[in-house]
A and B are shown apart, each in its own frame.
Chain A
Amino acid sequence: MKKGFKFLLDVIEVYTPMAAFIVLFTVFMLGIFFRYFLAPLTWTLELSLVCFIWTALLGGLYAKRTDSHVKFTLIYDMVSPKKQLWMRLFGNGLLLTAFGMAFYPSLNYVLFMGFKKSNVLKIPMDVAFAPYVVFMAFMIGRLIHDLYKDLNLLFRERIPK
């Protein structure tokens, strides 16, 4: 069960954006080749942009997993571990509130965009924009996980001195 869940996480956060990037790169190169040596292709740019959105948003989840997002740590680093814990609880609480509030409006927006299709490949825009909803859902999951971990630390008084 745990292994299956870990694999699912890897598929969404690592393998899918990697595949999207490889498709982006390949299609982009193909576009260049056709433009200079044969006849220009119009669909390559469209697919590259969709793959870019998938790479960016799901890659953003991978960056969250590896704690690579840019943060301002000056104040955080100066305070005691207990205060750091409260800061994390407060920050993650704020983010969870915001992302929780935004989830349904974002889902509705992405579904609404299904009426529109890309010009050449006719990719429905709800498919192109779907990773935004996945991003929101997984980010909410990760924030709940982080909050649970910190609350656990707080209630069991396992705060490093």
Chain B
Amino acid sequence: MNWPLLVFLLSFVMVFVVRIPIALGMMMSAIFYFDLAGGPGADISMVAAQFLNQMNSKFVLIAVPLFVFMAEVMNTGKITDMIFEFAGAVVGKKKGALGHVNVVASIIFSGMTGSALADASGLGMMEIKAMNDSGYDKGFSSAITAASATIGPIFPPSIPMIFYAMLSGASIGALFIGGMLPGILVGIALMIYIAMVAHKRDYPLGGAVTFRQMLAITLKASPALFSVVVLLGGIYTGIVTPTEAGALAAFYAIFVAVFIYKAMGLRDFLKVVRNTVRTTGTLSLLVGSAYAFSYIVAIEHIPDLVANWLLHITSNKYLLLLLINVVFIILGMFIDTMAITLVFIPIVLPLVTSLGINLVHFGVLITLNMMIGLSTPPFGMLLFVVSGISGTPLKDVIREILPMLLVLFIVLFLVTYIQPIVLFLPGLLGLL
């Protein structure tokens, strides 16, 4: 191993040891590397060059602030309230109804934003409060909110899938639609688990809804629900690109929040923009730094080394998928999803391609894997979010989420080994 590479790797390890922000840490490691490497095409300005030129040429990245903005508008503009009410009416009189409502609302909401954290922090607060007030265990309410929020980035649209598409060259449209069945599968699996727990713990029944009430609630919620049509309809009819659909849906959400639900004034709008800027700064800095970082990873042939090492263990495609899943789940327990996507996925992608694994299939399964990581103790970010917004001790949330994780792992196993769960719909639409 050469000296610059050693410093590069050691300094990157220090990022995790002394709690340096990961985006800044990747830039730091790249700067040290280029300073020591020297030679033509390898001076410190390469960090700026990689960061700026890649950001300036990747049109698809504009989708990120647009989707973040859309999620912020929906969380501020009463749209989440409407979805929650509508989901309640759909579920109706069932034992443990609010648990089911939690999952149904997450599926609908994920069709709008593509962000698990937006789901947990927006809808989550409402869901947990309603469940706690109705007598559900606090840990259970928080845990099911975290588990159901994982559907967000699996069901289209999805911010992590945009990053994956950018790294792998896979079609965003195919990835989005490929995530649909796995997203629904996660929802069904969680609802089966909720039904079992609700029966055992005698959780309360939901309110019965008459046809007339259902109609009234649907009418009231329809402007909010129509944003799913704007977004997904736009993408799959091919009328607009996914990035344009993000902008249109955000515009539509502002219109609904301001003029129909009258829930957003200028002050709220500025707050939404401020939050959007902060989140965009966090995500985009990670992306920009990852370009410089990945450039070094590529010129030092690290993916080849990892591929050779993994192939040395086994060359069986199915065992390798299992191995990659296990490694990513362990990474997901400790490291943020975006950091995993941008640092570790480029390392395994050449291996995935050489094994002939479909890139859309891998993209969806690895996104599901990473989303499960967001709810996996000890450091899944969703656990902290739901514990924070509900005031429930973290240990209670962790105790309740463990069986739900088992359910999610079963779905991950199915998605990994039954390829048509992911590829059936994209194939049907001719996107493969």
Contacts from A to B (Cβ < 8 Å):
14, 17-18, 21-22, 24-25, 28-29, 32, 36, 45, 48-50, 52-53, 55-64, 66, 68-76, 87-88, 90-91, 94-95, 98-99, 101-102, 105-106, 108-110, 113, 128-129, 132, 139
Known A-B contacts A95-B20, A108-B45; the reply to A68 vs B51 at CB < 8 A is no
Chain A residues near B18 (CB-CB < 8 A):
75-76, 87-88, 90-91, 94
Chain B 100-123 against A: per-residue CB contact (8 Å), 1 yes, 0 no?
000000000000000000000000
CB-CB < 8 A to B49: which residues of A? 109
- Greatest chain B CB density within 10 A among A14, A21, A87 is at A21
**For the complex, what is the distance from the CA of A52 to the CA of B66, rounded to whole Å?**
10
Docked-complex contact B284 and A60, CB < 8 angstroms: yes
Q: In the complex the two chains form, is B240's CB within 8 Å of A32's CB?
A: yes
The closest CB in chain A to the CB of B43 belongs to A105
**Distance between Cα atoms of A57 and B379 in the complex (Å):** 27
A10 shortest CB reach to chain B, Å:
11
Cα A70 to Cα B117 with chains together (Å):
13
Q: Which of A25, A36, A69, A105 contacts B247 (CB 8 A)?
A: A25
- When distances are taken between beta carbons in the complex, the residues of chain A under 8 Å from B335 are 72
List residues of chain A with CB within 8 A of the CB of B282.
Answer: 59-60, 63, 68-70
What number of A-B contacts does a CB cutoff of 8 Å give? Answer: 193
Question: In the assembled complex, which residues on chain B have CB atoms less than 8 Å from the CB atom of A139?
Answer: 24
Contacts of B19 in A (CB 8 A): 71-73, 75-76, 87-88, 91
Q: In the complex, A96 Cα to B24 Cα: how many Å?
A: 10
In contact, B45 and A56 (Cβ under 8 angstroms): no
Complexed CA–CA distance, A18 and B250 (Å): 16
A59 pairs with B378, CB closer than 8 A: no
From B55, B239, B250, contact of A56 by CB (8 A): B55
Residue pair B278, A59 in contact (C-beta under 8 Å): yes
On whether the beta carbons of B339 and A70 are closer than 8 Å, the reply is: yes
| Cα distance A72–B66 in the bound complex, in angstroms | 27
A53-B55 in contact given A21-B273, A59-B278 (Cβ < 8 Å): yes
Q: Which 6 A-B pairs have the closest CB atoms?
A: A59-B281, A56-B284, A69-B21, A109-B45, A76-B19, A60-B281
A58 to B277, CA, bound (A): 8
* Closest beta carbon of chain B to A26's beta carbon, Å: 10
Q: Contacts of B334 on A, CB cut-off 8 Å?
A: 72, 74
Instruction: Give the residues in chain A near B55, CB-CB below 8 Å.
Output: 49, 52-53, 56
In the bound complex, what is the Cα–Cα distance between A101 and B44 (angstroms)? 8
Contact A24–B65 (Cβ < 8 Å): yes
Q: How many residues of B contact A (CB 8 A)?
A: 62
Q: Are B281 and A17 in contact (CB under 8 A)?
A: yes
Identify the stretch in B28-36, B159-167, B311-319, B400-408 within 8 Å (CB) of chain A at 4 or more residues: B28-36
Interface of B is mostly: helix
Cα-based distance from A51 to B22 in the complex (angstroms): 24
* Nearest CB of A to B121, in Å: 13
* B284 and A59 contacting across the interface, CB-CB below 8 Å: yes
Name the residue among B28, B239, B251 with the largest chain A CB count within 10 angstroms.
Answer: B28
CB distance from B374 to the nearest CB of A (A): 12
Report chain B residues within 8 Å CB of A87: 17-19
Q: In the complex, which residues of chain A have a beta carbon less than 8 angstroms from the beta carbon of B240?
A: 32
State the CA gap A57–B56 with chains docked (Å).
12
* Interfacial residues of chain B within 226-272, with CB under 8 A of chain A in the complex: 239-240, 244, 247-248, 250-251, 270
Q: Point out residues on B near A: beta carbons under 8 Å.
A: 11, 14-25, 27-28, 31-32, 35, 43-45, 47-49, 51-52, 55-56, 59, 61-62, 65-66, 69, 239-240, 244, 247-248, 250-251, 270, 273-274, 276-282, 284-286, 288, 334-336, 338-339, 378-379
Would B48 and A102 count as touching, CB distance under 8 A?
yes
Contact between A74 and B378 (Cβ–Cβ < 8 Å)?
yes
Residues of B within 8 A of A72 (CB): 15-16, 19, 22, 334-336
Contacts of B47 in A (CB 8 A): 102, 106
A129 adjacent to B274 (CB under 8 Å): no
CB of A134 to closest CB in B, whole Å: 12
Closest to A87 in B: B18
Contacts of B274 in A (CB 8 A): 14, 18, 62
Most buried by A among B16, B24, B239, B379: B24
Chain B residues near A129 (CB-CB < 8 A): 48, 52, 56
Q: Could you tell me if B278 and A32 are in contact, using CB atoms closer than 8 angstroms?
A: no
How far apart are the CA atoms of A63 and B275 in the complex, in Å?
A: 10
Which among A24, A45, A105, A110 is the interface contact of B59 at CB below 8 angstroms? A45
Please, how many angstroms separate the alpha-carbon atoms of A56 and B276 in the complex? 10
Q: Which residues of A contact B14 (CB under 8 A)?
A: 90-91, 94
Does the CB pair B21–A106 fall under 8 Å?
Answer: no
Contacts of A95 in B (CB 8 A): 20, 24-25, 28
A-B contact pairs, 24 of them (CB 8 A): A14-B277, A18-B277, A21-B273, A25-B66, A49-B59, A53-B52, A60-B23, A62-B278, A63-B278, A66-B278, A68-B279, A72-B336, A74-B379, A76-B19, A90-B14, A90-B18, A91-B14, A91-B18, A99-B27, A101-B31, A106-B47, A109-B48, A128-B56, A129-B48
